[in-house]
Amino acid sequence: MSGLNTAPLPEPQRGQLANGTSLVQLDLPNAPVVCLDFWCRSGSGVEAPGEAGIAHFLEHMVFKGSHSLQAGEFDQRIEALGGNSNAATGFDDVHYHVLIPPEACAEALELLTDLVLQPRLDRSDFDMERQVVLEELAQSEDQPEEVAFQQLLKQSCLDHAYGKAILGDRDALLGHTPEAMARFHARHYRADRCCLSVAGPLAALQLEEQLQRSALAELVPSEADARPAPLQFMPGEERLELPRLEAARLLMAWPLPGAADQMSVVGGDLLTTLLAEGRRSRLVERLREQLRLVESVDLDLNVLESGCLVLLEAVCEPEHLSRVRAEINGVLKALQQEIPSEAEVERARRLVGNGYRFSLEAPSAVAAMVGNSALWDRKHNLQAPLDWLEEWDGQRLVQDVVPQLQPEQAFVLEAVPA
């Protein structure tokens, strides 16, 4: 791609502990902090019946201490070292990350592996933290937009895990016990399903040596390799009246091949960018700039293991909903008829490529990216996505991706103020 700076990108260093736990490191010598990012294939998608919300609840409980760390001690010590930490549970995986000054990295690593792999799950802490999770649920229910998105996934993904709320539901949460949670942890936090990713200035680190002595080395492999179940998706439509909504929403969802099909992911990224990123993208230009029917229109590619989901949101007045929908359908259909110009594709390529390059500046983003890839056995280097981008042109987009993002393949949800 002419014009884009082509300075070589750093190479991830991969390794493995004797028990099969993967390690990946990426040296960013100029970064002011190191990011330690522990990943596990233990998102809400692996929850058995009756376990709704337990993956996320466990993520909360992890911070309540381990066999050797008191509740709150981890945060106190990490923050006293000048670092911070957080965690996130998704459909496919969970990760726990720490940002820390380089000189405190070894200590932080010991604390993190200890915390995550040997949770204490104290009963009174468990009851207290359940209240916190119920508050988190209540807080999300007070955002009508989140309620609408949850409905969209519930209606379109049928019985698949992606149709269920990561937070779980009240009844299920009230039924969980520390014992059931311990079993869940033991079942899923296994050597072959975990990965530790480290990005930042790594010069002084003896990572592997330290990890051989850590709780990470004691993990056992799982009995069977369980890949996430393929996405089930049913096109359809629904109209919903929501209290407290001020503007109407048109939401649409489409399935695309899962994250393992990386070429498809790049194509999806390119097409959603061409359609809805920036004033000159097709949907924004048509619906917001020219017709002035929407306050905003967004189209996001959610990269997921079972199958990616493309989600569209248009915010508009309720009386404009049907016109907005017709216009969006028109834009999508038009793409089938005529191959976009090279200039238009190049614009999208640069936006995607720069977005990617810009994200490589921050250790947390880099650790997350290489950590997630390693967790799911994707062993490309950082340059690869930029090369894949070059393999797409307008014709290939129209042939391969556009047909999958047509109105008749979508689940459409219209949410209006009650």
Partner 1 sequence: MSSAGVQQRELSGGCPLWLIERPGPAILSAKLWIRGGSSADPSGQRGASQLLAGVLSRGCGPFSGDALADLVEGRGAGLRCEAAEDGTLISLKCASDDAALLLPLVLQMVTSPWLVEDQVALERQLNLQTLQRQKEDPFQVAHDQLRQQLYGSGPYGHDPLGVEDELCALARPQLEQMTHQLGQEGAVMVLAGQIPAEPEQLLLHQLEGQSWRTQAPKRLAGASGLKQVSLASNVDETEQLVLMLGTTTAPLGSEQALALRLLHCHLGIGMSSRLFVALREEHGLAYDVGVHYPARLGDAPFVFHLSSSSERAEDATRELLNEWLRLLEEPISDAQLQLAKAKFKGQEALGRQTCSQVADRHALVLGHGLPFDFADRCLLEAEALTPSDLHQAAQALLQGPSLSLCGPQDAIEAATAVWTGHPLNRS
Question: Scanning residues 116 to 145, which ones bind partner 1 (CB under 8 A)?
Answer: 128-136, 138-139, 141-145
Residue 16 Cβ, how far from partner 1 at the closest point, in Å? 29
Q: Residue 313: exposed, middle, or buried by beta-carbon count in 10 A (0-12, 13-18, 19+)?
A: buried
> Within 10 Å of residue 190's Cβ, how many Cβ atoms?
19
Query: Pattern 2-31, binding to partner 1, x per CB under 8 A?
Result: -xxx-x--------------------x-xx
Residue 168 as a binder of partner 1 (CB under 8 A): the answer is no
Site for partner 1 in 281-320 (CB under 8 A): 281, 288-289, 292, 295, 315
What is the C-alpha separation between 394 and 267, in angstroms, rounded? 10
- Counting residues that bind partner 1 (by CB under 8 A) gives 71
Q: Which is nearer to partner 1, 124 or 395 (CB)?
A: 124
Residue 339 as a binder of partner 1 (CB under 8 A): the answer is no
Residue 84 as a binder of partner 1 (CB under 8 A): the answer is yes
Residue 236 as a binder of partner 1 (CB under 8 A): the answer is no
Residue 149 as a binder of partner 1 (CB under 8 A): the answer is no
What is the C-alpha separation between 384 and 266, in angstroms, rounded? 11
Cα atoms found within 13 Å of the Cα of residue 332, Cβ hemisphere only: 21
Choice from 118, 364, 372, 373 touching partner 1 (CB under 8 A): 364
Residue 253 as a binder of partner 1 (CB under 8 A): the answer is no
Choice from 360, 381, 406, 409 touching partner 1 (CB under 8 A): 360
* 92 backbone dihedrals φ, ψ, rounded to 5°: -100, -35
Residue 346 as a binder of partner 1 (CB under 8 A): the answer is yes
Count how many residues are written for the chain. Answer: 418
List alpha helices for 49-157, DSSP H.
54-62, 73-80, 105-117, 123-141, 144-156
Choice from 17, 23, 24, 33 touching partner 1 (CB under 8 A): 33
Residue the block writes with tokens 């933290």:
129
Residue 83 as a binder of partner 1 (CB under 8 A): the answer is yes
Per-residue CA distances from 265 to 51, 366, 382, 400 (Å):
30, 18, 15, 11
Residue 278 as a binder of partner 1 (CB under 8 A): the answer is yes
Partners of 138 in beta bridges: none
Residue 361 as a binder of partner 1 (CB under 8 A): the answer is yes
Choice from 244, 333, 378, 380 touching partner 1 (CB under 8 A): 244
Q: Which is nearer to partner 1, 359 or 399 (CB)?
A: 359
DSSP string, 137-185: HHHHHT-HHHHHHHHHHHHHSTTSGGGS-TT--HHHHHH--HHHHHHHH
Q: Which is nearer to partner 1, 239 or 292 (CB)?
A: 292
Residue 32 as a binder of partner 1 (CB under 8 A): the answer is yes
Residue 299 Cβ, how far from partner 1 at the closest point, in Å? 15
Six-digit token string for 70? 């008191």
List alpha helices for 251-307, DSSP H.
262-276, 282-283
Site for partner 1 in 44-73 (CB under 8 A): 63, 71-72
Longest dimension (CA), the chain: 64
Residue 358 as a binder of partner 1 (CB under 8 A): the answer is yes
Please, are residues 185 and 59 in contact by the beta-carbon 8 Å criterion?
no
What is the C-alpha separation between 176 and 159, in angstroms, rounded? 21
Residue 290 Cβ, how far from partner 1 at the closest point, in Å? 10
Nearest to 85, CA basis, from 100, 64, 72: 100
Residue 243 as a binder of partner 1 (CB under 8 A): the answer is yes
Residue 90 Cβ, how far from partner 1 at the closest point, in Å? 18
Please, are residues 251 and 312 in contact by the beta-carbon 8 Å criterion?
yes
Choice from 153, 245, 266, 328 touching partner 1 (CB under 8 A): 245
Residue 227 as a binder of partner 1 (CB under 8 A): the answer is no
Choice from 183, 323, 357, 396 touching partner 1 (CB under 8 A): 357
- What per-residue string of b and e applies to 153-188 under the rule 16 or more CB within 10 Å gives b? bebbbeebbbbbbbbbeeebbeebebeebeebbeeb
Residue 56 Cβ, how far from partner 1 at the closest point, in Å? 12
Residue 107 as a binder of partner 1 (CB under 8 A): the answer is no
Choice from 14, 123, 239, 280 touching partner 1 (CB under 8 A): 280
Q: Which is nearer to partner 1, 208 or 285 (CB)?
A: 285
Residue 403 as a binder of partner 1 (CB under 8 A): the answer is no
Choice from 90, 168, 363, 385 touching partner 1 (CB under 8 A): 363
